[in-house]
Amino acid sequence: MWALFIIFGFDYIRPFTFDWLKPEVLLATTFLLPTKLMLFIFIFSILLINISLKYKKIFRGLGFFSLILGIILLQKPQIPMPNLKINLISTYIPQNKKWNKNYIPIEINNNFKYIQTSIKKHYDVVVLPESAFPLFLNLHPFLMLKLLNLSKKITIVTGALHYKNKKFYNSTYIFENGKVKILDKHVLVPFGEYIPFPFFQKEINKIFFNGASDYKTSKKFGIFKIKNYKFINAICYEATIEKLYTLKPHYIIAMSNMAWFMPSIAPIIQKLLIKVYAIKYKKIVFHSLNGYKSYIIKG
């Protein structure tokens, strides 16, 4: 009974949208598919094998049979890769430098180096991490113009802040063919990007965040196109929200700043959760990170 609750019950426990209680991640680094059904079959098989040690050998055979049957029935589906050459940029900027006004010009200069190198290597798309431009990018017309001009040679997907109607957003900027599309984050990090209480928000922000205001959100998850391919936009925490994976496009471009959590195992947990959801919902995730190596996960 407890095993069933552990496998299936945690799906209904999501404090402040925190959706990381997924026991199937235990299978994410094995040859078994990281699904709830496979985890159930695995536990059931082990139980039968364990019983066989005390009672009849037939239970051992049933245990091995159920495990092998589960592996056969739950074969990993194949999803075709988009016909795009995508360069996922990895950066390793410590959090104490990330928002330092003296270091920001160096970050911006490096971003343009990544873009120019991607153009020289004939990539179709270059993806930079969350907040790769650590400023309100839309308030810097010179940078915007430079990125718009470069987007005539390569599609640029980058993270930056967005200021609109006196509100702050954590956003993705997509520059393509001399045009830009801005997608604001839909699900914020509780206690990191907003205070999840209907009261004392200003007081808490004043005490712990130097009076900074909460970020605002878009009404829904963002979807954008690169050439003829649709991508789901995911910024950091959003890449571990199961609801995002229920959207129709097969491809996700995610970006994260994991320097917040270093040193820790948070980037590894995030990667395992992304793998679980990518397999469950048949997605391919292109993930660009600061503080950890970027990667592609095929569902």
Q: Which residues are catalytic?
A: 130, 185, 236
40: number of Cβ within 10 Å: 17
Candidates 177, 151, 175, 173; CA nearest to 164 is 173
- Say how far apart CA 70 and CA 64 lie, in whole Å: 10
The radius of gyration of the chain's CA atoms, rounded to the nearest angstrom, is 22
Describe the crossing of helices 104-120 and 141-150 by its angle, rounded to 10 degrees.
10
Alpha carbons 195 and 96: distance in angstroms, whole number: 22
Name the residue among 8, 60, 61, 68 with its Cα closest to residue 32: 68
Asked if 185 and 170 touch (Cβ cutoff 8 Å), the reply is: yes
What are the residues facing 178 on neighbouring strands? Answer: none
Locus of tokens 């948070």: 266
263 preceded by cis ω (within 30°)?
yes
Place of tokens 């496979």: 38
Q: Are 297 and 271 in contact (CB under 8 A)?
A: yes
Q: Which residues of 227-261 are buried (b: 16+ CB within 10 A; e: fewer)?
A: eeeebbbbbbbbbbbeebbebeebbbbbbbbbbbb
Please choose, from the candidates 142, 144, 187, 189, the residue with its C-alpha nearest in 3D space to the C-alpha of residue 162.
144
